Amino acid sequence: MKTYRLLLLLICVFNFSHRAEGQNKNKNIIIAPGAEVIKLAGDFSFTEGPAADRKGNVYFTDQPNNRIMVWTIEGKLETFMQPAGRANGLFFDKDGNLWACADEKNELWKISPDKKIEIIVQKYNNAVFNGPNDLWIAPGGGIYFTDPFYRRTWWDHTERPQDKQCVYFLPPGRKEPIRIIDDLVQPNGIIGTPDGKILYVADIGDKKTWKYIINSDGTVSGKTLFCEMGSDGMTIDNKGNLYLTGNGVTVFDRSGNRILNIPVPEKWTANVCFGGKDRKTLFITASTGLYAIKTKVKGVY
Residue 140: give its domain's CATH number: 2.120.10.30
Whether 242 is covered by a domain: the verdict is yes
Mean pLDDT along residues 35-45: 97
What is residue 16's predicted lDDT score, i.e. its pLDDT?
44
Whether 192 is covered by a domain: the verdict is yes
Which of 4-18, 41-55, 181-195 shows the lowest per-residue confidence on average (mean pLDDT)? 4-18
Residue partners of 84: CB distance under 8 A and separation at least 6 = 61, 66, 67, 68, 100, 102
The number of folded domains in the chain is 1
Dist. CA 285–CA 89, nearest whole Å: 11
- Whether residue 35 contacts residue 82, with contact meaning beta carbons closer than 8 Å, is answered with no
Whether 14 is covered by a domain: the verdict is no
Tell how many helices (H) and how many strands (E) occur in the chain.
Answer: 1, 26
23 pLDDT band, cuts 50/70/90, is: low
Dist. CA 190–CA 170, nearest whole Å: 14
pLDDT tens profile 200-230: 999 999 999 999 999 999 999 999 999 999 9
* Phi/psi at 24 (5° precision): -65, -40
Q: Is the omega angle on the peptide bond into residue 187 within 30 degrees of 0, that is, cis? A: no
Whether 218 is covered by a domain: the verdict is yes
H helix or E strand, kind and range, residue 146: strand 143-147
pLDDT at residue 125 tops 70: yes
User: SS3 letters for 154-208?
Assistant: CCCCCCCCCCCCEEEEECCCCCCCEEEECCCCCEEEEEECCCCCEEEEEECCCCE
Percentage of the chain with pLDDT > 70? 92
End-to-end CA distance of the chain: 57
Whether 25 is covered by a domain: the verdict is no
pLDDT tens profile 258-296: 999 999 999 999 999 999 999 999 999 999 999 999 999
pLDDT tens profile 136-183: 999 999 999 999 999 999 998 899 999 999 999 999 999 899 999 999
Residue ranges of E strands in 8-142: 38-41, 47-52, 58-62, 67-71, 77-81, 87-92, 98-102, 107-111, 117-121, 123-124, 127-128, 135-137
Q: What is the pTM of this model?
A: 0.92
Whether 173 is covered by a domain: the verdict is yes
Instruction: Enumerate the β-bridge partners of residue 203.
Output: 187, 208
Dist. CA 152–CA 105, nearest whole Å: 11
Whether 301 is covered by a domain: the verdict is no
Q: Alpha helix (H) ranges present in the chain?
A: 2-30
Residue partners of 9: CB distance under 8 A and separation at least 6 = none
Whether 48 is covered by a domain: the verdict is yes
pLDDT tens profile 73-118: 999 999 999 999 999 999 999 999 999 999 999 999 999 999 999 9
Structural domain boundaries enclosing 253:
31-294
Count of C-beta atoms within a 10 Å radius of residue 126? 5
